[in-house]
Amino acid sequence: MAFLDWVLHPTELWAAFWYVMRHAPPDEKTVKLQVSGDMKRCYDFLEMTSRSFAAVIQELNPKLRDAICLFYLILRGLDTIEDDMTIPGAKKRDLLEKFHTVIYEDGWSFKESGPDEKDALLLVEFSVVVSEFKRLPVEFQDIIADITRRMGSGMAKYTRARVETLDDYNEYCHYVAGLVGHGLSRLFSESGLEDKSVGENLDLANSMGLFLQKTNITRDINEDVLDGRCFWPSAIWSKYADSEDTLIAKSNRERGIEGLNEMCTNALSHIPDVMEYLSSIHEPTVFKFCAIPQSMAIATIALCYNNGRVLDDNVKIRKGEALKLIAASTSLDSVKCIFYRYLEEIERKNEPSNPMYEQVRKIVDKAKKDIAGSLKGGPPVDFTKEYLIIIVFFVAIFVFIYQYNTSGL
């Protein structure tokens, strides 16, 4: 199946080839060879925990690179505690609410994670993160500690509270992702690489985080329900099922897909803010760092929309597709073209029988119109349709075979 994916999507194979060539070891310019000791171990943890985006973080401007690496690891540690269902509620809340203080405690470590926590080792060796965090400029430390405090408090609240209303949903996503957007934006401005306004217009930064978090929550419904939790607001899912288990049941598939489409529609509402935020980012490595996750998110929403497989499994975009998006998300116009094409895909999947049809149509039409109006050449035209590349590929093979046979070799 993986081989067939590469054959049917040759531009993704090309993107994968260039990604491997660019990041193939040994590379004397990689961050790992420029740091040593505890910071080197932090970059090891970055690669273990952030997976696809480790390389992008390491390519950030040196003024931001270490700070964002450590910011990520601190929040990953916080998130690992929140996700661990083996930690008793009272103890978990205490850990979450005090986590912003342990990042200053030399030697702090946590060895009580459940056996299934994949990032438990980060907490076991968290002292290396503490050591390097305290080396950062005080201004960076203050921003990271403030976001950690506010995020931990919000997470602690939702160990007791349930996501019931749409306001709850927006608040929860703000705590676990919108605040990340706040912190990053403040770091961008504090570094001097971006204008002060980036760190001040936090509503847009919040929307950046909400778009990513809502995409993940929408996609992860099957895994979450099987784990005994659900982050879809009951204000949405209760329209389509009488329980979370029923929501993903095959016997309720048609209604479950309608609920899925409403969740996708809710996420799509953040696109105008995403475009506005990205238009304010000018430093190339910062732009790429911000743009890649957003490109992944719109691709994921397009995959999830009207797709019953989401209720059965954790669907993901193809690896080659992800590498292609990483390679393409280098400029505002390129990202706008990416969004435009995935909006077209959603448009094709939007059926009149879908209760969300009119709402999705309006969101997509407006977003496409705004994007097309801001591009110099108007609506993007894809001159590299993959079926044309496939035809050229097979024609080239045919010509080669024909010439080989007629040459008498």
Q: Among this protein's residues, is 51 annotated catalytic?
A: no
Alpha carbon distances (Å) from 220 to 104, 217, 223, 310, 311: 34, 5, 5, 8, 9
Catalytic residue (one of 172, 211, 240, 342): 172
Catalytic residue (one of 126, 140, 219, 339): 219
97/16 Cα distance (integer angstroms): 42
Sequence length of the chain is 409
Q: Among this protein's residues, is 172 annotated catalytic?
A: yes
Q: Among this protein's residues, is 289 annotated catalytic?
A: yes
Q: Among this protein's residues, is 211 annotated catalytic?
A: no
- Phi/psi-derived region of residue 228, left when phi > 0, alpha when psi is between -120 and 50, beta in every other case: left
Count of CB atoms within 10 A of residue 204's CB?
Answer: 21
246/404 Cα distance (integer angstroms): 60
One-letter amino acid identity for 376?
K
156/90 Cα distance (integer angstroms): 9
Burial tier of 212 (Cβ tally within 10 Å: 0-12, 13-18, 19+): buried
One-letter amino acid identity for 278?
L
| Residues in contact with 313: Cβ distance below 8 Å, sequence separation at least 6, in sequence order | 222
User: Any long-range contacts for 213-216 (C-beta under 8 Å, 24+ apart)?
Assistant: 213/173, 213/176, 213/177, 213/178, 214/169, 214/173, 214/263, 214/266, 214/267, 214/270, 215/267, 215/297, 215/300, 215/301, 215/304
147/144 Cα distance (integer angstroms): 5
* Look-up of token digits 């847009």: 204
The tally of CA atoms less than 13 A away on the side-chain side of residue 268 is: 30
Under DSSP, the state recorded for 177 is I
Whether the ω angle into residue 26 lies within 30 degrees of 0, i.e. cis, is yes
Catalytic residue (one of 229, 253, 309, 348): 229
405/387 Cα distance (integer angstroms): 27
43/166 Cα distance (integer angstroms): 37
Residues involved in catalysis: 172, 219, 229, 289
